[in-house]
Amino acid sequence: MNVAWCTLTELAGLLRDRKISSEELAQVFLSRIEKADPTLHAFVDVYQEEALSLARAADQARSSGMPLGVLHGIPVALKDLLDIDGRICTLGSRHYESRVATETAATVERLLAAGMVPLGQTHMTEFAFGGWGTNPLMGTPHNPWDLKVHRVPGGSSSGTGVAVAAGLAPVGIGSDTGGSVRIPSAFNGLTGLKVTHGRISLHGTGLLSWTLDTIGPMGRSVSDCALVLDALAAPDPRDPTTLSQPVERFARDPRAIRGMRIALPDATQLPPFTDPGILDAWQSAARTLESLGAHLIPVKLPDWYFELSVPAGRIIASECYTLHSDYVHDPKARLGPAVRERILAATRFEPGEYAQVLRTMAQRRAEFAAWFADYEAILLPSSAIPAIAIADVDEASPIPGYLTRPANYLGLCGLSQPAGLVGGLPVSIQLVGKPFDEHTVLSIGQAYESVTTHHTQHPNLGALGLE
């Protein structure tokens, strides 16, 4: 068994049965990082000594015979917007390359409390503002599914997606404001969970949009995401949006999907640039879920559903401008041109437009809740296309977030999971769920995963000297 491709449950079993130590496990991933990251460029900073020290401490705790959590001693990759007190956190920007954090993100606190071992910080789109995953100043990670052509990793959680897909980490943390967990999960063949805003504390997290930001896990299986969500989901008085969430466990007792009503949108509503192979994978997934006893109900989404990417973008740009207005106008500030332009778009909005967009968003959420009431989930593709070459990227294109942004705008949750390969590149489906109903989308995802093998596929990294 190559532990680099194991799920968290499998790794926990190996550790529990003393077939591998946490120190040995950490060393496996650190060695893979050393071999592959000069090419893949997933990590901003690798915590070599710190990770080994934490792993030894995890082994020492295990030797006590006391009960430990399932994640204890398992490595994890962290997106470079999660502060760790005393360490540099760049938010993917050269402008912040010397920024030292003065607090620790709630996400990191909870992962450490669960006994996890951070391997380092991963690259990201600057300020988390972009779906292709490009970053001209910090460097764009290399999608591991094609080592000959530099393809987009998906953004903004680009480095996390590449690290987990290449077996440089067993699981990682991303963030999702308009698709930034689901897009890189789709492009890299991973399972990624976009949680409801307010499910995981944003304390100590570099913000893009305080209205739409969420933290989410990216792993090899649905159960991986559920286990990490169990560790992260909790009320936190430092983030008041978390205080009203229902408290529940996600990795236990998945719901039976027999009889569930899953909305299947009319294919004519999908964008005209949708790859035919992705349409086939999406429709095949629908048939699979139907064979498991779910009712796939043909529906027409509200006419405005996919138009929601535009007002979502206005919210993101407006709030991002507020966060970075002190220097975004300065031509000497070391900012990527595409991200600078996205931020400055907020200066061209009409007076009062931001407030009106928020007011309309509340109305749309109420309207969509009424539409959604008769269904447990919606089945969509995660991305309309597989990963394209970096050379073909149009930074102004709405393509990467076209299918994902509406869920953020409407306050929903969503699960992206592998649905096969098209031309040797991963494609994915997306299960969109109601607010704070992660348990349902995880249950549907687990059922689909139980009768398919797409999530077990991984890239061939022989050219990098890795199995």
Q: Which of 21, 156, 201, 309 is catalytic?
A: 156
Q: Is 331 exposed, middle or buried (0-12, 13-18, 19+ CB in 10 A)?
A: exposed
Residue in this structure with the two tokens 């990201």, named with its chain if needed: 124
Residue in this structure with the two tokens 């009889």, named with its chain if needed: 259
Rounded to an integer, what distance in angstroms lies between the CA atom of residue 320 and that of residue 280?
A: 37
Q: Which of 180, 185, 209, 318 is catalytic?
A: 180
Q: Pick from 285, 293, 443, 338: which is nearest to 125 by CA?
A: 338
Provide the strand spans (E) within 39-171: 43-46, 75-79, 117-122
Q: Which of 21, 22, 79, 201 is catalytic?
A: 79
The reply to whether 318 belongs to the active site is no
DSSP for 371-408? HHTT-SEEEEES-SS-PPBGGG--TT--TTTTTTHHHH
DSSP for 234-277? --BTTBGGGTTSPP--SSSSPPP-TT-EEEEE-GGGS-TT--HH
Helices (H) and strands (E) in the chain, counts: 13, 11
Q: Would the CA dihedral through 89, 94, 96, 99 be positive or negative?
A: positive
The reply to whether 79 belongs to the active site is yes
Q: Is 366 exposed, middle or buried (0-12, 13-18, 19+ CB in 10 A)?
A: exposed
Residue in this structure with the two tokens 């992260």, named with its chain if needed: 232
Rounded to an integer, what distance in angstroms lies between the CA atom of residue 418 and that of residue 457?
A: 9
DSSP letter assigned to residue 424: T
The reply to whether 180 belongs to the active site is yes
Question: Known catalytic residues?
Answer: 79, 156, 180
